[in-house]
Amino acid sequence: MSATLSFDRVSRRFQTRTRVVHALENVSIEVRQREFTALVGPSGCGKSTLLNIAAGLDTGFDGSFSLDPPKADRAYLFQSPRLLPWKTAQANVAFVLEARGASRSKARTAARHYLELVGLAGCEHQFPAHLSGGMRQRVALARALAVDPALMLMDEPFSALDEITAHRMRKELLEIHQIEPRTVLFVTHNLAEACFLADRVVVMASDPGRIVADVTIDVPRPREHDDLRLSAYQRELSRALFDHSSTPVSTDSPNQQAPATTKGDPRHATL
Ligand code: ADP
Ligand code: MG
């Protein structure tokens, strides 16, 4: 199962002691079933706010957000794995299944299956403290996959890992996505990572948080990191990212710039 989501003119403001922060301003985006969408942008442009709204954790926004099916299961993966330190890898995964009503033995069997899927066969009985950072993040990924979510929300899940581990995990994530595609919203600062993983890359800018480019990455999978077509997309997207990073838009402006959109050949990209 996989979900469709739609943000329609979503604005989110936060009142701090000194000012109003325009975390999101009129953000509209549709994400299709099984689409892997990457959100890229500088710190503070509202990426996590957008994920929190998609997760149903933040309801204090204007505009509308809809998820189809409305009660679709969602999994949220963060930069830090957030494991329970007193439980083994297997128990960390089984725990969420038991909380959803699975019997202890079914939960354990499923936990072993998902740990194997993320390359952790043989590590079931290890405690988080005895696992490397990459292995802990794999347990978190297994835990997220185990609930069979229709929507995966991933907030910079590989940014705390060393590059070699992150590289391996990106490839594995794509392999898992190929076997069972789900709708994914993946936040990253890393344009190369976004282009390698995603069907579509949405670039955001801050002050106010808004979309400035929305580009379909038309490169078939399996992909190689050094594919020149991905590098071409990366160059186009970095232009959009840097062009907008120094030009905050007045939030009073009625005519915000429409995001650039491309589909197909990178040579036709017009950002
Ligand atoms: P990103 O994930 O792109 O770095 P966030 O979505 O976390 O950005 O935040 C967007 C903006 O909203 C930032 O300026 C941040 O400081 C502000 N913000 C986010 N959450 C809150 C909050 N609960 N209270 C006040 N300001 C917030
Ligand atoms: Mg964030």
- Helix intervals (H) in the chain: 47-55, 89-99, 104-117, 133-146, 163-179, 191-197, 228-245
pLDDT at 247: 54
pLDDT at 249: 53
Closest-approaching ligand to the CA atom of 45: 1
pLDDT at 243: 86
**With a 6 A CB cut-off, is 44 part of the ligand 1 pocket?**
yes
Centre of ligand 1 to C-alpha 22, Å, is: 9
Asked if residues 47 and 204 have their Cβ atoms less than 8 Å apart, the reply is yes
pLDDT at 269: 32
Q: At what angle do helices 133-146 and 163-179 cross, to 10 degrees?
A: 20
Nearest CA, atom 16, ligand 1:
44
pLDDT at 239: 93
Nearest CA, atom 21, ligand 1:
14
Residue 149 CA to its chain's centroid (Å): 13
| Residuewise pLDDT in 10s, the chain (271 residues) | 789 999 999 999 999 999 999 999 999 999 999 999 999 999 999 999 999 999 999 999 999 999 999 999 999 999 999 999 999 999 999 999 999 999 999 999 999 999 999 999 999 999 999 999 999 999 999 999 999 999 999 999 999 999 999 999 999 999 999 998 999 999 998 999 999 999 999 999 999 999 999 999 999 999 998 999 999 999 999 999 988 876 555 444 444 455 666 544 433 332 3
**With a 6 A CB cut-off, is 16 part of the ligand 1 pocket?**
yes
pLDDT at 2: 87
Query: What's the pTM?
Result: 0.90
**With a 6 A CB cut-off, is 49 part of the ligand 1 pocket?**
yes
**With a 6 A CB cut-off, is 42 part of the ligand 1 pocket?**
no
**With a 6 A CB cut-off, is 88 part of the ligand 1 pocket?**
no
Asked if residues 158 and 137 have their Cβ atoms less than 8 Å apart, the reply is yes
pLDDT at 258: 56
Centre of ligand 1 to C-alpha 39, Å, is: 15
Closest-approaching ligand to the CA atom of 22: 1
Nearest CA, atom 24, ligand 1:
14
**With a 6 A CB cut-off, is 14 part of the ligand 1 pocket?**
yes
